[in-house]
Amino acid sequence: VKNIQDQSNGILFTEYHQAIPCSASDLMIAIGANLKGYSIPNTPISLFFPSGKESLVSLMEEVIVKCFEFNKWFLNFSFPFKSLKIIFIKDYYISGEPATISSNTITFSTALLYQANIVEQQFLTKALVSFMFARLFFGSFVFPKTFNDNWLILGIAHYISRNFQRLLFGNNDYKLQLV
C-alpha cells in the first residue's frame, strides 16, 4: 500500500498491490471512517469493525476460527491466500444479503453481531458465517464456466456448512435442517 499526494489539486491517491492474481470481480476495497481492526493470533485472519463493536466482534472470533479450521480439515487443503480479511460494516446489504465474499475478504453487516445473552441470533449468524467460509474455500478452486454452474459451488458450500453446523449444534439441529 502506498499513498500518493497530488500536489496540483490536493487529492490523495492510495495505490494497492495484489500479490496473487485474481479476476476483477474478486477484488474488494472497503473504505470507511472509524474502522478498528486486529489480527487473530496464529491465523491469517484479520477482523475489521466499526468503533464500539469490539465486544460483539470478540464473541464472533471463536466461531470464525473454528469455521476456518474446520474448512481446512474437511476439504483437506490450506487456505489459498496469505491473509483473510473479515469486515463488519454498519447497515451493509447487497441485493438483500447481509454478507458477500471476494477472493480473500468476507464482508458482513453489523446487524449479524449479537449479544451473548441472545440465543436465537447465534444460530442464524453462525449458519451464515459457516456458509460464507465454505463458499470462499470451495469457490477458490472451482470456477463456474457460466452463471448456471454456480449450483455446484453453492450446493457443496451448503453441504460443508451443514457439516460444520452439525459439529456446533449437534445432530438434532442437523436433521431438522435436512427436512
pLDDT at 133 over 80: yes
- Is 25's pLDDT higher than 60? no
Specify the pLDDT at position 33. Answer: 60
Q: Which helix (H) or strand (E) holds 4?
A: strand 2-5
Look-up: residue for cell 500500500? 1
Count of positions (residues) in the chain: 179
SS3 (DSSP) at 10: coil
From residue 17, how far is each of 82, 93, 116, 131 by CA, in Å? 13, 27, 39, 29
pLDDT tens string 59-76: 889 999 999 999 999 989
3-state SS, residue 144: coil
Q: For 74-111, how does the pLDDT look when each residue is reduced to its tens digit (9 = 90+)?
A: 989 888 888 889 988 888 877 778 888 877 889 898 88
